[in-house]
Amino acid sequence: MQKVRAKKSLGQHFLKDLGVARKIAETINPTVSEKFPVLEIGPGMGVLTQFLLQNPNINLTAIELDRESVAYLKEWYPELKLIEGDFLKLDLNNVFPAGEFGVIGNYPYNISSQIFFKVLDYKDRIPVCSGMIQKEVAERIASKPGKKAYGILSVLLQAWYDIEYLFTVDENVFNPPPKVKSAVVRLRRNSRTSLDCDERLFKTVVKTAFNQRRKQLRNSLHEFITDEAKLENYLTKRPEQLSVEEFINLTKLLQPCQN
Ligand code: SAH
């Protein structure tokens, strides 16, 4: 059967280095127990899939949007549980009616942020998510406060996940090579069970503050501020200076019901 022709619109860059593929597949190993359900996003021609299927601790399901890749996978991996469709539209409760599951992939880079936002929507059921994304996004996700890369994704993900930047991957191991460098990350659910503040407001505050990241919070968050005195420590700061804990505290102070 012919190889799949890479389509730009689907973010298709097929990994050709089996050593790297094996290393990525192994990133989920330390966290899985017996027959742990794992979803692979965008298996393409199955370069990661083959290693995941070999792992006796993993109960693998994959979702692939590209019809041509689906046909290829059905031919070469008939044993694979494969869903043809868009991960972003997938109802994960249908695929995994109960319990926890992991997420892995050499992800389509054009939707990597959206993939992580969706993981966040299911955070209490996804203890681990690992895989390859653009290096720049990996740096954003893993960034600590005070860095240029620190932003919305860093705060929202780090509130719930411990992030490990595992290793960098050169563009030459792909066909076709992407324009950017890549990196492999792992997100593991931390022990936080609630934010101790209004979670929706927390998200809005983080997004609003970073959407005007050069501005002091006094200006970017003015529509939320009713009592400046309470917020003294925060008013002249910029969003990249605030840790996750500080964003949580700030949100508490902005909550109208706690006046
Ligand atoms: N994992 C393969 C392919 C990586 S390229 C490898 O390492 O070689 C990204 C893959 O994600 C492609 O196969 C692409 O078709 C698929 N894809 C793109 N958008 C998708 C979506 N919304 N849902 C599921 N798969 C998607």
Q: Report pLDDT digits (tens) over 18-29.
A: 999 999 999 998
Ligand 1 centroid–CA 41 distance in Å is 6
Contact 119, 95 (CB under 8 A): no
Residue in the block written with tokens 């705060």: 155
DSSP class of residue 2? Answer: P
Q: Which amino acid is at 200?
A: R
Contacts of 177 (CB under 8 A, 6+ apart): 13, 171
Q: Give 2's pLDDT tier (boundaries 50, 70, 90).
A: confident
Q: Which of 9, 14, 104, 107 to mutate to test the pocket of ligand 1 (most atoms within 8 A of CB)?
A: 14
Please give the distance of CA 175 from its chain centroid, rounded to a whole number.
Answer: 23
Considering the chain, what percentage of its residues have pLDDT values greater than 90? 92
Considering the chain, what percentage of its residues have pLDDT values greater than 70? 98
Distance between CA 212 and CA 196 in Å, rounded? 25
pLDDT at residue number 259 = 42
Closest of 65, 113, 105 to residue 89, by C-alpha: 65
- What is the residue with the minimal CA distance to atom 3 of ligand 1? 44
- Which atom belonging to ligand 1 lies closest to the Cα atom of 40? 1
The first and second tokens of residue 181, run together, are 């460098």
Ligand 1 centroid–CA 164 distance in Å is 22
User: What does the DSSP assignment read for 23-87?
Assistant: HHHGGGGGG--TTEEEEEE--TTTTTHHHHHH-TTEEEEEEE--HHHHHHHHHH-TTSEEEES-G
pLDDT at residue number 258 = 42
pLDDT at residue number 256 = 63
Give the mean model confidence (pLDDT) for residues 83-93.
98
Contact 103, 39 (CB under 8 A): yes
Ligand 1 centroid–CA 152 distance in Å is 24
> Where does ligand 1 bind, in terms of residues with CB under 6 Å?
10-15, 41-44, 47-48, 63-66, 69, 86-88, 105-106, 108, 111
Q: Is the pLDDT assigned to residue 30 strictly greater than 90?
A: no
- What is the residue with the minimal CA distance to atom 20 of ligand 1? 65
Ligand 1 centroid–CA 89 distance in Å is 14
- What is the residue with the minimal CA distance to atom 13 of ligand 1? 44
Ligand 1 centroid–CA 83 distance in Å is 12
For residues 32 and 47, the model is more confident at 47
pLDDT at residue number 1 = 73
For residue 176, whether the previous peptide bond is cis, meaning omega lies within 30 degrees of 0, is yes
Ligand 1 centroid–CA 93 distance in Å is 21
State the pTM of this model.
Answer: 0.95
Give the mean model confidence (pLDDT) for residues 168-188.
96
**Whole-number Cα distances in Å, 219 to 138, 231, 235, 249:** 29, 13, 8, 18
For 139-152, how does the pLDDT look when each residue is reduced to its tens digit (9 = 90+)? 999 999 999 999 99
Give the mean model confidence (pLDDT) for residues 247-251.
96
